[in-house]
């Protein structure tokens, strides 16, 4: 239950509904115990053929007789005490002390008989006048009352389940919102480790398991223990000595539940982690459907799905086996606890005794009806335990889901603002990479990669347009991704106008950076909303001006809904070149001081590339630009002021096009390659 304590702040706002659930649970428990208590009069009528009026009258006579005997015993003992007092016997005398004990015991029995006498007198005065004299009529109305009480109990359970279900859904909704907000503020590297599939598993599967747990705790785990307690109190009233024999098994039940609970929790957590892998296969298969179909490789993905599902199946079956073993063992322990009380009780009834082996187990000789009622009460205690055991595995799965939820919610971002940040204003001097080293962290230390960047030094003056080129994996994209702090370097510092970017607030830093990536990311909204994505307060005129500058206005105007056209998931309704021009318009509207173009024309045709380069030629003025391109074209060289060549994580050359052709063999080879490809894949 420790895991569920973390839910308290999220459940607290709905405390009124939970209080109502507890009250309803108490009412259900009372009706449950009352229904079972009717077993006594039913047995009296059916098995002993007795009228309830006669039974109450007989009980009053019996209690009066016992009360009179107890009174005589008390009187006799008090007379003995008077003799001792008259003889001046000291209070420490053993005989005197023994008489005092007998007196205390006799007074206790007298009080017990008087209490019973009062109870039976109250029943005779207030209950019996409304009980029919006819035995059949009495039985009929008893059954009607049981039926009505059961109906009322069902209505109360229905209301309770609705209340708790509402609390569960509202709580999980708040948790999902909290998790979503937290995830959006985590660093990029941590989220990359988790992966889309892992995140989706937490939001969906884990969220459902969590909701089930809240429903169980607020509903059944309130109602069933109260039902058990109601029956236990009634059983204690009938015969507290025999009932205590059953209650002694509760610690054993607690130990058993603790052991199986920890096993179930571990197995459930592994099962949920395996479900994340299934989500991963689904995500990869569905996002790459075009490639899957084109290569006719459906069987490969079917095999992957089968493999991951078999792994999930094994872990799920472990949970099933533990749960399946727990249910009968719990039931066996419960029946044993019940028989420990019933068997001695049966012996007392059949022999007409109150003691077994000198141990008093009853205050008087029990009747068959009393024993049967005690049995029903013990069964009434066992049934809630059985129902709770059936929900045990679901509760433990929910507990594991809570832990997985809060593991992520409590995870701190590796990229965050310092307590005191410095303001740098709009960039206007220089950007400097000083002795930068960086490696990508892995979850498995054995799979740790080497340095991607190694002691990189690079200074870029304001207004420069820097083209970064090199072979795949040389660290081009990694270097520029340090600038908006997608990652922090392992060693060294990035300076913006002489100040470390770690000292600048993330909002201010990223507010100055505009990025167009190789894989253009558009959202399933209108073109208008996609263009002003980073500038939500932009007017329509500003959006249209940005689209015009990006040479995409005419294309948008030709669409049926124009700027209001919804472009589908990831902009699938548009071509690659159109998507990139819209992404460029988005950056133009933001008007950043620093522009990062990470292979921004990789998906564009020749015409789109020409338009983009024409736009950039004017747009890069008055801002610092980092450009990673897979081709070097004349239109690109028109506005690039310097080219930086990288190899194996280091800067090996820097200069203009003509200088590098003459002095850098790697650049010469890349420029003169048949495809003129430079760094197709971003690192």
pLDDT at 91 over 80: no
pLDDT at 261 over 80: no
Burial 548-580 (b: 16+ CB within 10 A, else e): ebbbbbebbeeeeeebebebeeebebbeebbbb
Confidence grade of residue 681 (pLDDT, cut at 50, 70, 90): very low
Which residue is it, tokens 């009434």?
A: 380
d(CA 196, CA 279): 9
d(CA 134, CA 126): 18
Distances (CA, A) of 25 to 146, 221, 237, 269, 429: 18, 9, 22, 31, 70
60-64, 315-319, 498-502, range with the lowest pLDDT: 60-64
pLDDT tens per residue across span 533-551: 888 889 999 999 999 998 8
Q: What is the pLDDT of residue 456?
A: 93
Phi, psi of 453 (to 5 degrees): -125, 135
Q: What is the pLDDT of residue 416?
A: 86
Which residue is it, tokens 């008390």?
A: 74
* Domains recognised in the chain with CATH numbers: 2-51+133-409 (1.20.1560.10), 435-671 (3.40.50.300)
Q: Report DSSP letters for 359-414, one per residue.
A: EE--SSPPPHHHHHHHHHHHHHHHHHHHHHHHTHHHHHHHHHHHHHHHHHHTPPPS
Confidence grade of residue 682 (pLDDT, cut at 50, 70, 90): very low
* Chain center to CA of 485: 30
pLDDT tens per residue across span 393-442: 778 788 888 888 888 888 888 888 888 888 888 999 999 999 999 988 87
Q: What is the pLDDT of residue 86?
A: 64
Angle at the Cα of 31 (from 26 to 35), degrees rounded to 5? 150
Q: What is the pLDDT of residue 255?
A: 76
More confidently predicted of 116 and 558: 558
pLDDT > 90 fraction of the chain, expressed in percent and rounded: 16
More confidently predicted of 652 and 54: 652
- Model pTM score: 0.73
pLDDT tens per residue across span 209-223: 888 888 888 888 888
433-447, 475-489, 597-611, range with the lowest pLDDT: 597-611
d(CA 432, CA 439): 19
Helices (H), 550-673: 553-557, 576-590, 606-619, 634-637, 657-663, 665-671
Confidence grade of residue 33 (pLDDT, cut at 50, 70, 90): confident
Confidence grade of residue 680 (pLDDT, cut at 50, 70, 90): very low
d(CA 481, CA 452): 12
What is the chain's mean pLDDT, rounded? 83
d(CA 328, CA 563): 65
Q: What is the pLDDT of residue 678?
A: 41
More confidently predicted of 671 and 454: 454
Distances (CA, A) of 245 to 161, 231, 238, 341: 34, 15, 14, 6
Do 406 and 180 contact (CB within 8 A), yes or no? Answer: no
Q: What is the pLDDT of residue 289?
A: 74
Burial 160-180 (b: 16+ CB within 10 A, else e): bbebbeebbebbbebbbeebe
Neighbour count for residue 120 (Cβ, 10 Å): 21
More confidently predicted of 97 and 300: 300
Structure tokens at 246: 């059953």
């Amino acid at each position: 239950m420790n895991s569920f304590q973390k839910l308290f702040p999220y459940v607290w706002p709905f405390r009124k509904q939970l209080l109502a659930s507890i009250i309803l649970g108490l009412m259900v428990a009372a009706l449950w115990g009352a229904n079972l208590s009717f077993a006594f009069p039913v047995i009296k009528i059916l098995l002993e053929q007795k009228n309830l009026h006669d039974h109450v009258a007989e009980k009053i006579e019996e209690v009066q007789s016992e009360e009179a005997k107890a009174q005589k015993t008390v009187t006799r003992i008090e007379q003995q005490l008077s003799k001792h007092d008259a003889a001046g016997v000291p209070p420490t005398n053993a005989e005197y002390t023994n008489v005092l004990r007998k007196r205390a015991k006799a007074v206790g029995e007298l009080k017990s008989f008087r209490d019973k006498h009062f109870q039976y007198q109250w029943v005779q005065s207030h209950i019996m006048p409304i009980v029919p004299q006819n035995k059949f009529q009495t039985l009929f109305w008893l059954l009607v009352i049981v039926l009505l009480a059961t109906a009322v109990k069902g209505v109360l359970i229905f209301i309770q389940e609705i209340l708790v279900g509402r609390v569960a859904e509202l709580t999980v909704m708040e948790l999902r919102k909290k998790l979503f907000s937290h995830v959006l503020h985590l660093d990029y590297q941590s989220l990359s480790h988790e992966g889309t599939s892992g995140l989706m598993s937490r939001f969906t599967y884990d969220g459902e398991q969590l909701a089930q747990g809240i429903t169980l705790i607020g509903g059944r785990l309130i109602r069933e223990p109260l039902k058990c307690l109601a029956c236990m109190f009634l059983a204690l009233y009938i015969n507290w000595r025999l009932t205590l024999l059953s209650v002694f098994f509760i610690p054993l039940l607690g130990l058993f539940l603790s052991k199986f609970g920890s096993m179930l929790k571990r197995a459930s957590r592994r099962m949920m982690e395996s479900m994340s892998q299934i989500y991963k296969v689904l995500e990869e298969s569905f996002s790459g459907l075009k490639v899957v179909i084109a290569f006719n490789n459906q069987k490969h993905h079917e095999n992957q799905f089968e493999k991951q599902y078999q792994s999930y199946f094994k872990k799920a079956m472990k949970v099933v086996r533990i749960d399946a073993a727990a249910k009968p063992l719990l039931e066996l322990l419960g029946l044993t606890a019940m028989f420990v009380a019933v068997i001695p009780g049966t012996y007392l009834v059949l022999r007409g005794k109150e003691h077994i082996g000198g141990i008093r187990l009853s205050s008087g000789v029990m009747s068959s009806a009393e024993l049967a009622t005690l049995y029903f009460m013990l069964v009434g205690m066992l049934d809630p335990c059985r129902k709770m055991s059936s929900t045990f595995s679901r509760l433990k799965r929910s507990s594991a889901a809570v832990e997985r939820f809060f593991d992520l919610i409590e995870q701190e971002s590796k990229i965050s603002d310092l307590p005191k940040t410095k303001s740098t204003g709009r960039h206007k001097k220089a950007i400097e990479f000083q002795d930068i080293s960086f490696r990508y962290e892995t979850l498995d230390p054995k799979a740790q990669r080497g340095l991607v960047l190694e002691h990189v030094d690079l200074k870029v003056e304001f207004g420069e347009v820097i083209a970064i080129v090199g072979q795949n994996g040389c660290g081009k994209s990694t270097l520029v991704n340090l600038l908006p702090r997608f990652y922090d370097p392992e060693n060294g510092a990035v300076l913006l106008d002489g100040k470390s970017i770690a000292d600048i607030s993330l909002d201010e830093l990223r507010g100055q950076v505009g990025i167009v990536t190789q894989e253009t990311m558009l959202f399933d909204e209108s073109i208008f909303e996609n263009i002003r994505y980073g500038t939500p307060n932009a007017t329509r005129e500003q959006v249209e001006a940005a689209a015009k500058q990006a040479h995409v206005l005419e294309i948008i105007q030709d669409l049926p809904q124009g700027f209001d056209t919804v472009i589908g998931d990831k902009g699938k309704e548009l071509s690659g070149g159109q998507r990139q021009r819209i992404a460029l318009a988005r950056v133009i509207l933001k008007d950043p001081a620093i522009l990062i173009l990470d292979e921004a024309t990789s998906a564009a045709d020749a015409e789109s590339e020409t338009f983009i380069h024409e736009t950039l030629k004017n747009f890069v003025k008055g801002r610092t630009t980092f450009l990673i391109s897979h081709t070097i074209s004349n239109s690109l060289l028109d506005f690039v002021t310097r080219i930086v060549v990288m190899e194996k994580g280091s800067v090996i050359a820097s200069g203009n096009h003509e200088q590098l052709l003459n002095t850098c063999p790697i650049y010469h080879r890349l420029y003169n390659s048949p495809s003129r490809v430079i760094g197709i894949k971003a690192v």
